[in-house]
Amino acid sequence: MIERPFRLRHYMVSHTRLILHSFAQPDEPESFSVLFGGVQAMHLHTRVYHPLIIEEADEATRAGMLAFAAIPERIQDRMLCLTLPDSQGGAGSIVCYFASVFARPRDQSGGVDARAFDEARHIRTIGPR
């Protein structure tokens, strides 16, 4: 859980990449980005996730997400099925290959191309089980 507001920053269909971003507030030294790679399906339930909570889906939810995304059975074990609960009691969902959390100093622009993450501080990557 990251106790900050996150918004959709970028989604690129051709690169199957989704970025949720939280800009640094005046009293905070860093901004944070979550990069979801290999996105096969998503449903974002709200415009702002505050706090951002990323959980692996339980088995029943995972099965429904994989069916919705029409993921062939032969590659289902490579997929990561994540839920993003929100403060209104709903949940977004993302079917992807991985999710990585990065931090950048406040004075960096917060770009969304691949080079933008080269100098960012990598915090954690979540991959399939």
Contact 41, 65 (CB under 8 A): yes
- pLDDT by position in tens, the chain (length 129): 788 999 998 888 878 999 999 988 888 899 999 999 999 999 998 888 999 999 999 999 999 999 999 999 999 999 999 999 987 788 899 999 999 999 988 776 556 666 677 888 999 999 876
Q: Is there a domain that residue 15 lies in? A: yes
Number of domains in the chain: 1
In a domain, 1, yes or no: no
Cα-based torsion angle of the residue sequence 7, 127, 55, 87 in order, rounded to the nearest 10 degrees: 0
The reported pLDDT for the residue numbered 87 is 78
Please report, as a single letter, which amino acid is at residue 51.
P
pTM of the predicted model, to two decimals? 0.90
Assess contact for 79 and 66: CB atoms under 8 A: yes
Task: Give the domain extent around 78.
Answer: 6-126
Domain assignment of residue 47, yes or no: yes
